[in-house]
Amino acid sequence: MNEINYYKINEVLEHQYYQMPKELYTNSLYKQSLNSDSKILYTFLLDRLTLSQKNNWYDENGNVYLIFTRQEVQDKLCLSEKTVTRAFNQLVGTNLISEKGRG
């Protein structure tokens, strides 16, 4: 049997965390329209914005954009292509993101 690795008092703030907006669980539009995979994906997309900021990835209107391929999402979240597509479609459908193809 594996032992639990408990946090020690001096370790609590040593980790990096993803921040998930509470609105995804309180706003009825998102609460009812997004499944857990979509909410987690959105959290990862928000986190990826820091990389966009670092790389100065924004358009002529000051809108920040990011590059996070479906394959990267599948690998990072251990999800199938179908599940990732569904998650992106839910986020697009609730106007939380818009997508543009590369090329």
Residue whose token pair is 């391929």: 69
The pLDDT tens digits of the residues spanning 42-78 come to 999 999 998 899 999 999 999 999 988 999 999 999 9
Q: Which residues form the domain of 73?
A: 23-91
Q: Does any domain span residue 102?
A: no
Alpha-carbon distance values, 16 to 20, 43, 87, 89, 99 (Å): 13, 14, 24, 28, 28
Name the domain count of the chain. Answer: 1
Residue 29 pLDDT: 92
Q: Does any domain span residue 31?
A: yes
Residue 69: burial class (beta carbons within 10 Å; 0-12, 13-18, 19+): exposed
Q: Does any domain span residue 76?
A: yes
Q: Does any domain span residue 28?
A: yes
Q: Does any domain span residue 14?
A: no
Q: Does any domain span residue 12?
A: no
Residues contacting residue 92 through CB under 8 Å, at least 6 positions apart? 98, 99
Q: Does any domain span residue 1?
A: no
The pLDDT tens digits of the residues spanning 23-36 come to 999 999 999 999 99
Residue whose token pair is 């690795």: 5
Q: Does any domain span residue 64?
A: yes
Q: Confidence class of residue 103 from pLDDT cuts 50, 70 and 90?
A: low
